[in-house]
């Protein structure tokens, strides 16, 4: 018969082991952090998450979906995570946070013929501002008193809305998005005549795992994230994709 010590040791090893099946990881099209290119998931945060999983010995599968779908699924699933996720006070208890896995700069864009002065978030209040459902930018704008926020499931839907007649219910005056990836998203949607009117903030982003992901798995992933930041992998990936999108 095994001793009590042996049983306790076996239980500890089992608890610390990565899941027997892969984590289901959701993300969206959001260059330069995470996006698809030639059918492959790439981007600074995407590569960082893949490296974290490999270093921690935690298998992962990836799904690129609209942000709202991924955000909801990450909270409800048994072994589900989401990136690139801004860490805000209202979200703190919803997820276990791993990272940072990258950095997101936010900017507000308009058509080239937009002539109104925009020097601060307060100047956004009279305008219809477009962004993505369940995106951190919605919470951030509303907490700053900007309530006229109009959301869509995917960011690629926003640039064409800037070109609509003002009488169209889908029209927006401004678009808040990832500063470095905005032009690539707009050009892919067939919109080229845009200008940056306000740089909003720079913030770290994270891999956010749902409440049913085992603590031992979260700890292994965070330990790997810290090691990859320390050895320069995170900085190298950020520099690589920032250079590509400048």
**Do residue 79 and residue 122 come from a single domain?**
no
- Are 102 and 204 in contact by the 8 Å Cβ rule? The answer is yes
Mean pLDDT of 196-205: 96
Residue-wise pLDDT for 52-109, tens only, equals: 999 999 999 999 999 999 999 999 989 999 999 999 999 999 999 999 999 999 999 9
**Do residue 211 and residue 168 come from a single domain?**
no
**Do residue 56 and residue 136 come from a single domain?**
no
* The pLDDT of residue 10: 41
Angle, to 10 degrees, between the axis of helix 215-230 and the axis of helix 4-16? 60
* The pLDDT of residue 1: 42
Q: Domain span at residue 30? A: 18-103+203-245
* The pLDDT of residue 135: 96
**Do residue 94 and residue 209 come from a single domain?**
yes
pLDDT above 70 (res 111): yes
Reference 79, options 146, 29, 22; nearest CA is: 22
Domain assignment of residue 138, yes or no: yes
Mean pLDDT of 164-170: 97
Q: Which residue has the higher pLDDT, 25 or 6?
A: 25
* The pLDDT of residue 170: 97
**Do residue 97 and residue 111 come from a single domain?**
no
**Do residue 92 and residue 211 come from a single domain?**
yes
Angstrom distance (rounded) from CA 73 to CA 77: 6
Mean pLDDT of 177-198: 96
**Do residue 76 and residue 27 come from a single domain?**
yes
Mean pLDDT of 173-193: 96
**Do residue 79 and residue 160 come from a single domain?**
no
**Do residue 179 and residue 138 come from a single domain?**
yes
Domain assignment of residue 9, yes or no: no
Around Cβ 148, how many Cβ atoms within 10 Å? 15
How sure is the predictor about 246, in pLDDT bands with cuts at 50, 70 and 90?
confident
Domain assignment of residue 123, yes or no: yes
* The pLDDT of residue 9: 42
**Do residue 60 and residue 116 come from a single domain?**
no
Query: Domain of 53: which CATH number?
Result: 3.40.190.10
pLDDT above 60 (res 131): yes
* The pLDDT of residue 185: 96
Whether this model's pTM surpasses 0.85: yes
**Do residue 214 and residue 237 come from a single domain?**
yes
What is the tally of structural domains in the chain?
Answer: 2
Domain assignment of residue 54, yes or no: yes
**Do residue 89 and residue 166 come from a single domain?**
no
pLDDT above 80 (res 19): no
Residue-wise pLDDT for 206-225, tens only, equals: 999 999 999 999 999 999 99
* The pLDDT of residue 96: 97
Mean pLDDT of 147-157: 97
Mean pLDDT of 165-194: 96
* The pLDDT of residue 4: 55
Domain assignment of residue 53, yes or no: yes
Mean pLDDT of 201-205: 94
């Amino acid at each position: 018969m095994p001793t009590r010590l042996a049983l306790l040791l076996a239980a500890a090893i089992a608890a610390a082991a990565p899941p027997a099946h892969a984590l289901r990881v959701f993300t969206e099209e959001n260059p330069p952090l995470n996006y698809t290119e030639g059918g492959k998931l790439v981007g600074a945060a995407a590569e960082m998450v893949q490296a974290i999983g490999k270093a921690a010995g935690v298998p992962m599968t990836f799904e690129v979906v609209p942000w709202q779908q991924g955000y909801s699924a990450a909270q409800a699933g048994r072994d589900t995570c989401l990136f690139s996720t801004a860490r805000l006070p209202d979200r703190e208890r919803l997820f276990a946070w791993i990272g940072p896995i990258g950095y997101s700069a936010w900017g507000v864009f308009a058509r080239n013929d937009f002539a109104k002065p925009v020097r601060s978030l307060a100047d956004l209040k009279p305008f219809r501002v477009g962004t993505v459902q369940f995106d951190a930018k919605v919470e951030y704008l509303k907490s700053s008193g900007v309530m006229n926020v109009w959301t869509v499931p995917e960011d690629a839907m926003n640039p064409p809305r800037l070109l609509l007649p003002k009488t169209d219910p889908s029209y927006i005056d401004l678009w808040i998005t990832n500063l470095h990836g905005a032009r690539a998203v707009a050009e892919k949607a067939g919109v080229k005549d845009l200008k940056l009117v306000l740089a909003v903030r720079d913030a770290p982003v994270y891999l956010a795992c749902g409440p049913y992901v085992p603590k031992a798995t979260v700890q292994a992933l965070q330990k790997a994230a810290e090691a990859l930041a320390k050895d320069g992998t995170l900085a190298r990936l950020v520099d690589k994709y920032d250079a590509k999108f400048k």
